[in-house]
Chains A and B, each alone.
Chain A
Amino acid sequence: MKAYDAYADALFRHCYFRLYDRERAKDLVQDAFMKAWEYIAKGREVENIRAFLYRILHNLIVDEFRKKKALSLDELKEKGIDIIAHEKLDQNDAMEVEKIISLFARLEPKYCEVATMRYIDDLTPKEIAEITGESENNVSVRINRASQKLRDLMQIS
């Protein structure tokens, strides 16, 4: 099993690239760990803790989108993408991350979701299917379409 630190970073990254809001992303990741704790404290077994955490986080993000409309690219530009200067991130990296955010924000939510899990979280179609509750086949098809859309957007930009 991986340490808390490794899971926290990966989960945070996933949430950040779905919400584009650093503070809110931290809140949801914290909530995900708390909910995992609640589940485990009731004596329930979890086979794959990584997938379990991602599933909880995914559901929290879906709830967040239910309460608040996802930001469009225009709204995101107006709000300002808060790439915080971090010890691991130089100016060039920050620009590259902004480009990625701009690309992903142009995707429809269902494609953005699988593209984030596939290319940012490096999850397999099987793992994504387990997290979203969809069939592996549906997930694979959606990943292919999302990939094509991303390539088209990259060529345009």
Chain B
Amino acid sequence: MNDLNKIKNITEKITLSHEEKIKMRGGILNFIASNSVSKVNTQRLLDKWSFFNLFNLNLKPMPAFLGILLILGTSGGVSLAAESALPGDLLYPVKVGINEEVRAAVSFSAESRANWDARRFERRLEEAEKLAHKKEFNSEVRVKMEENFEVHAERVEKRIADFESNGKTESAADLSSNFETSLNAHERILTKIDGEEITKFLPKVRAKKGSAMLLRVKLEARVSGESNMEAEAAAESKMKSAEHKIMEVRAFLEKMRARLGVEATADGEARLNEAQKIWMEGKMKVDIKAYGEAFALFQRAHRIAQEAKLLIEAKNEFNVDFKTREKEESEDKILEKKEKEEQADANVNTNLNIEIENESRIDADGNEAESRGKGQLDVRFNVGI
């Protein structure tokens, strides 16, 4: 190949496959269905911009979910209306069972699927907050919410585990950090909203937050332990990502300051300044080639910036206030407490095994075992650490 003009002839063979085109088409249709104001407007726009040609009948077979999308797209914004539905609303099953599932089905990369699962998990927490704010978070809702919370949290945890097992440690650390940020911010928001059932729901959120934190710390240590080249690449990538996040939140804060006033956004400003300071510390670590520490600092800066945004949004929606210093004191304590809990679990398992062993021997051997069982205390240890 000695002519630059031949490059096009070679590269034009790189195309989407038939299935990929159908899937992408489905994703775009889903988006249109979820964002269309009315059937009339949608149809007019699709007719006008025929390049979309999304309903090309030559593409067969059409997956079942596209059929659903077509129905939704022509049903006057059902899909759109469902987006604001809360547990107990008529359209809530459409939101969770159709909108969210279709969105999941049309994600291509592992990263975008994981990000969508994380977003779905966050939507559950947002729903809890909205219900609590409306004083509709009763015991029935709490039980259902706890169930959904577990299901969606497990999906995110599985994505993290999949990234880890595929050697994508940085993606695992990224997702786990975002997961922790969601839990942290929403736990704070829920704490500010009164309600007996919310108080019963919170321990679940806190427990998950502790696990997420431990996992994140473990993954950061793993990134730190990678080869110098990999750790450097991870640190530089995270440095850019954190910088981008800080800029994004700063722009958001300026917009919100105009709407809510200086006092209402002062806390957010303080958090963002803290994020910036930590980012600078990370940059200094990069300069001295301490890439593992830099990565952890950039992750932290990213978390604080993202949390600032979530808390300002909550302030706007629910009119609640947050103090910056609460978080810093509690993080180490949470980790320490979580580690002690895990250690305590390991000890409980040991004791249970002794008791079970005794019972088995008694059950299996009948009368003879009874006399033997009573005399035995020290049988087998399941260390399980």
Q: 8 Å CB contacts to B: which residues of A69-108?
A: 69, 74-75, 86-89, 93, 96-97, 99-100
| B53 A5 Cβ-Cβ under 8 A | yes
| B106 A13 Cβ-Cβ under 8 A | no
| A67 B237 Cβ-Cβ under 8 A | yes
Given A17-B11, A96-B10, A24-B109 contact (CB < 8 Å): yes
Bound Cα distance A49, B41 (Å):
20
Q: Which residue of B lies closest to A84 (CB)?
A: B17
Chain A residue numbers with a CB within 8 Å of B107 are 27
Range class of the B interface residue count = 35 or more
Chain A residue numbers with a CB within 8 Å of B51 are 1-4, 7, 49
| B13 A89 Cβ-Cβ under 8 A | yes
Given A8-B16, A8-B24, A66-B244, A120-B11 contact (CB < 8 Å): yes
Chain B residue numbers with a CB within 8 Å of A147 are 4
| A41 B35 Cβ-Cβ under 8 A | yes
Q: Which of A4, A96, A150 contacts B4 (CB 8 A)?
A: A150
Q: Which of B1, B35, B56, B111 contacts A96 (CB 8 A)?
A: B1
The digit string for A1-28, where 1 denotes a CB below 8 A from any CB of B, is 1111101110011001100010110110
Is B25 at the interface (CB under 8 A from chain A)? yes
Chain B residue numbers with a CB within 8 Å of A134 are none
Q: Which of B1, B15, B36, B111 contacts A9 (CB 8 A)?
A: B15
Bound Cα distance A88, B8 (Å):
14
Report which A residues bind B (CB closer than 8 A).
1-5, 7-9, 12-13, 16-17, 21, 23-24, 26-27, 29-30, 33-34, 37-38, 40-41, 49, 63, 65-69, 74-75, 86-89, 93, 96-97, 99-100, 119-120, 122, 147, 150-151, 154
